[in-house]
Amino acid sequence: MKAIFFIGFMGVGKTTIGKRLGEVLNLPVIDMDHYIENKQKKTVKDIFHHHGESYFRDLESKVLLELKCEEAIITTGGGVVERKANRDFLRENGPVFHLTCPFNALWERLEGDDNRPLVRNSSKNSLLDLFERRLPLYESGSSVTIHTENKSVEEVVQSILPYLEGYAE
């Protein structure tokens, strides 16, 4: 069995949905940002501050390769799709679920979140620009798009399960 990946913009619910799906499928869940933090012994916020975004994106690419053979659910950071090589890798090593919802719903979740470097250092309009720029990148890196707006965690998980029938066998 290959890893199951979740991609999407920050705040869309990748971690929450991944954890619940992990419980349902009895699979471990690996959050890429936490995995990187543990390896680097620094928070994502500190990595961005001390080394910059490019360095962090290099770490993400390395971690994707490390985790591809894990029998696990992998929740990625929102920017993992910034590199074409990562999108290609995800498509070839899927399934990859793109979780999405309208930007205004995301903004309500993200506004004031100081733990996300891109939120802390950006205006609503610049985040909207980033969201719109990344949307086609998520689409090109995923196998399935799942809309999460106005759905409970259980409803989202139930909408994912049919795509995984026979997958774990």
**pLDDT digits over 90-119, tens only?**
988 879 999 999 998 888 877 766 666 666
Q: Is residue 92 part of a domain?
A: yes
* Tens-digit pLDDT profile for residues 32-71: 999 999 999 999 888 988 998 899 999 999 999 999 888 9
CATH number reported for the structural domain that contains residue 50 in this entry: 3.40.50.300
Which residues share a beta bridge with 29?
Answer: 73
Distances from the Cα of 160 to the Cα of 18, 43, 70, 99, 103, angstroms: 11, 30, 19, 10, 22
Phi, psi of 4 (to 5 degrees): -105, 125
Nearest CA to 89 out of 28, 29, 5 is that of 5
pTM listed for this prediction: 0.90
Strand spans (E) along 50-161: 73-75, 96-100, 144-147
Whether 162 maps to a domain, the answer reads no
Is position 73 within any domain? yes
- List the domain range (segments joined by +) for residue 118: 4-157
